[in-house]
Amino acid sequence: MPAVEFRFYEELNDFLPRERSKRSFHVDCARDANVKHAIEALGVPHTEVELVLVNGESVGFEHALRDGDRVSVYPQFEAFDVRPLLRVRTAPLRDTRFIADAHLGRLARYLRFLGYDTLYRNAWSDRELVALAVAEQRILLTRDRAALMHRALTHGCYLREDEPLAQLAALAQRLDLSVDPARAGRCTMCNELLAAVAKSEVADRLLPATRAQHEQFWRCPSCERVYWRGSHWQRLRRSVDAALGLGAPGRPKPRAVPSGDRLR
């Protein structure tokens, strides 16, 4: 069996037991083990890895390990410093779309608020989540590292944070998510793109105060909830902007297509 030396960098150490964290260690790998299998056997999901060096050369996940190899494994941000080396994953997904596991319902709503297509249903099993992520080319967001080790999965993101806004901040930083005011908002309940609707069409469903104070409305084509930029929307906007490091006290906040206030 090949004896291989590993060193994991930065937050990848969170997946390792203390005695292997932030230091080099030796492992007897399975015969014919490739990089991906060896890394996952140590508890690190391959979706969290951005760059692997074997004896100083960047390699792909399928690279076969040999006796005496030295393997350095980097997460995304650390990998920036060692460009233009080959990365294990050659192409980003064309559109940034997500599927969130059962623990990430509030994060899913924040992403929909920002206009990101995000599937979420708390009844999906790991197998269903992975199958949908692969079939629809979505990034799997999960707090379950076992789900990220599924062979078919190419794009996933492990969320370490407990708090949904902190999860959003971490995700935005990791994927360099943009907040595009031109991107249409989505229904936070069912992920459909919101469509502008004339006030006259929804006026009979509004409370008098809402009718008096707002002129712009949007409607979900699926569940028919009506949205406007009320106080709930403003609060959500401020929370999301703060999490993403946008906006400053005393300055106008960036305007985005709304979702947030709605009729239940």
One character per residue 183-222, x = contact with Zn ion (rule: CB under 5 A):
----x-xx-----------------------------x-x
**Residue written as tokens 């080099």?**
24
Residue 94, both tokens:
């064309």
User: Would you say 168 or 187 has its CB closer to Zn ion?
Assistant: 187
Neighbours of 7 (CB within 10 A): 17
User: Would you say 159 or 187 has its CB closer to Zn ion?
Assistant: 187
Minimal distance, residue 263 CB to Zn ion, in Å:
11
Neighbours of 221 (CB within 10 A): 12
User: Would you say 142 or 188 has its CB closer to Zn ion?
Assistant: 188
Total interface residues for Zn ion by CB under 5 A: 6
User: Would you say 68 or 105 has its CB closer to Zn ion?
Assistant: 105
Minimal distance, residue 192 CB to Zn ion, in Å:
5
**How many whole angstroms separate alpha carbon 202 and alpha carbon 194?**
14
Minimal distance, residue 176 CB to Zn ion, in Å:
28
Minimal distance, residue 229 CB to Zn ion, in Å:
17
Per CB under 5 A, contacts with Zn ion among 86-115 are: none
Residue 135, both tokens:
């079939």
For helices 164-175 and 105-113, the axis angle rounded to 10 degrees is: 60
Q: What is the DSSP letter of 96?
A: -
Minimal distance, residue 175 CB to Zn ion, in Å:
25
User: Would you say 166 or 189 has its CB closer to Zn ion?
Assistant: 189
Minimal distance, residue 8 CB to Zn ion, in Å:
42
Minimal distance, residue 187 CB to Zn ion, in Å:
3
Asked if 244 is part of the footprint of Zn ion (rule: CB under 5 A), the reply reads no
One character per residue 137-176, x = contact with Zn ion (rule: CB under 5 A):
----------------------------------------
User: Would you say 3 or 190 has its CB closer to Zn ion?
Assistant: 190
Instruction: Decide if 202 contacts 215 (C-beta within 8 A).
Output: no
Give 155-159's long-range contacts (Cβ < 8 A, gap of 24+). Answer: 155/47, 155/89, 155/92, 155/93, 156/45, 156/47, 156/48, 157/47, 157/48, 158/45, 158/47, 158/48, 159/104, 159/107
Omega before residue 17 within 30° of 0, cis: no
Judged by CB under 5 A, the residue of 3, 198, 223, 242 near Zn ion is 223
Instruction: Decide if 59 contacts 35 (C-beta within 8 A).
Output: yes
**Residue written as tokens 């050369």?**
57
User: Would you say 63 or 97 has its CB closer to Zn ion?
Assistant: 97
Residues of this chain that bind Zn ion (CB under 5 A): 187, 189-190, 220, 222-223
